Structure 1
Amino acid sequence: MIETAQAFGIDIGGSGIKGAPVDLKEGKFACERLRIPTPEESTPIAVAGIVKQILDHYEVEDGTPIGIAFPAPIKPGRPLDFMANLDQSWVGVDINELMCEQTGRTVHVVNDADAAGLAEAQYGAAKGVDGLVIATTLGTGIGTALIMNGVLVPNTELGHLLLDDKGDSEKYTADSVRTAKELTWKKWGKRLTKYYRMLEHYFSPDIFVVGGGVSKKHEKFFPYIDIKTPIVPAQLLNDAGIVGAGYYASTF
């Protein structure tokens, strides 16, 4: 594997599986990433086969910290009890055990939103911030990560908090809702204000980091988010899952 890489990260998504060696000093890829489309039948064995293919491509040896960002709540040693973006046959599977067996390597699996949050806290928009960092990913839903003084509080799923009489927060404030309802940036900003004020009330964070593709257009809606807590756009964007997964694995 590349000499400047101290870990390897993989990001499993509904449409693609991406991996790259990670330079943990710089918080970036040590070389170009490899992306392979997620199999149409995204069963555990099929997906694990792609993960092994990526690891073999880079000649990643067992003993290298290998992290995998995965789109579901992760509880090491316990089977998955929920799956939204991949085949339902994942439910009941111990993903850590499966990936270790199928790849022939020791791996560490982390929720994808948590991986992205770790990357931003360690290397990106929240680097050097003491206290509580809440990273939110605005997309089809709302992914969240809580990092307290550099330590991850996993599987928070704050996008599902009930927002007044609106129900699930993400069904009222996600970027997919903005596009489906053709909301103006101002109207969407007001919805986001309600959401972030609720998080302020419950958690008193020191900073919010906003990721997701729409964060590239943060200047269009940030002015309409009226909260007390500093709020900043994510910096690592599409690289965050891989970098965060690699960093997560390095902590073991």
Structure 2
Amino acid sequence: MTQALGIDIGGTGIKGAIVDTDTGKLVSARVKIATPKSGKPDAIVKVVVELVEKLGGLPESMPVGVCFPAVVRNGKTMSAANISKEWIGLEAEALFETALGRDIHFVNDADAAGIAEVRYGAAKDVPGLVLLTTLGTGIGSALIYNGTLVPNSELGHLTIGRQDAEKGASFSAKERRHLSWRAWAKRLQRYYTHLEVLFSPDLFLVGGGVSKSHEKFLPLLKLTTPIVPAQLRNNAGILGAAALAVRQ
């Protein structure tokens, strides 16, 4: 059994667990601590240290993966979603490594979720190009080709009809504008049709909390590409971060 610690830092909660990366099963309790309201680096790092302590003494040899809601380039956070703007341009991977006293693998949260779905979830054994989108406050995305991640795709920020895609098609846009499922599906149709034209994927995966209600909107979409709900839900970031840490 190959084990790794996966930590998922979100805008409202920070979650972590030890994972059997051969099977994608959690082998410890899942610990969750609220994300500090400030969202600032020192506050979030402090919570991550607390989370690791709650999980008990980890062997020094255990890989650790951390996923984060930002573009991550060479360990540096280049954006900030639902957290402090102080993260932009920060050497975040080094910050966490210093605080934890160990090396980590640091990755974008949607990328981690995509890897998890390919290895353990709805896209397992699917060849070719898998395109994951997470519909929530914004739109996250991950591109995985034959199991290899193309990082930081950020397809929620494509411009469609002079508008940033996530401003019109995210789940928060549905709630903000009080759209019916059918009216929201029309916006999603434009978005996914645009993705089909650009990438010709073999499979679309739809994640985010709204994927629990997939039967209310996915059947309304008319696409050439199969589109299915993600399976791993709240554990996807943990599983993907752990899996990528072992690969690294």
1:48 aligns with 2:40: no
Matched, 1:115 2:119: no
Residues 167-213 of structure 1, C-alpha deviations (whole Å, 9 max, x = no match): 11111111111112121211211211111111110000000000011
Aligned length: 247
The 3-state SS of whatever aligns with 2:198 is helix
Aligned-residue Cα RMSD (Å) equals 1.3
Q: Map residues 44-123 of structure 1 onto 2, 5 A cutoff.
A: 44-58=41-55, 59-77=57-75, 79-123=76-120
SS in 1 for 2:217: helix
Question: 1:49–1:103: 8 Å Cα contact kept in structure 2?
Answer: no
Deviation at 1:166, TM superposition (A): 4.3
Could you tell which deviates more after superposition, 176-185 or 196-205?
176-185
Gaps of 5+ in 1: none
Q: Which residue type is aligned with residue 28 of structure 1?
A: K
Q: Which amino acid aligns with 1:168?
A: D
Amino acid in structure 2 at the alignment position of 1:137: T
Q: Secondary structure at the match of 1:69?
A: strand
The amino acid across from 2:229 in the alignment is P
Shift of 1:145: 0.2
> Percent identity between the aligned chains?
51
C-alpha distance in 2 between matches for 1:220 and 1:166: 28
Shift of 1:99: 0.8
Equivalent-residue separation in structure 2 for 1:246 and 1:17 (angstroms): 15
Cα distance in structure 2, aligned partners of 1:244 and 1:119:
4
Distance 2:98 2:149 in 1: 26
Give 1:42 deviation, angstroms.
2.6
User: Where do residues 1-252 of structure 1 align in structure 2 (5 Å cutoff)?
Assistant: 6-58=3-55, 59-77=57-75, 79-163=76-160, 165-252=161-248
- Displacement of 1:101: 0.6
> Alignment partner of 2:16: what SS?
strand
Letter of the 2:113 counterpart:
A
Distance 1:232 1:127 in 2: 12
Whole-angstrom distance in 1 between the partners of 2:83 and 2:205: 27
Query: Which blocks of at least 5 consecutive residues in structure 2 are unaligned?
Result: none
Runs of 4+ in 1 over 3 A off after TM superposition: none
Secondary structure, aligned partner of 1:135: strand
Deviation at 1:47, TM superposition (A): 1.3
Aligned partners of 1:50 and 1:60: how far apart in 2?
17
Normalised to the residue count of structure 2, the TM-score between the two structures is 0.96
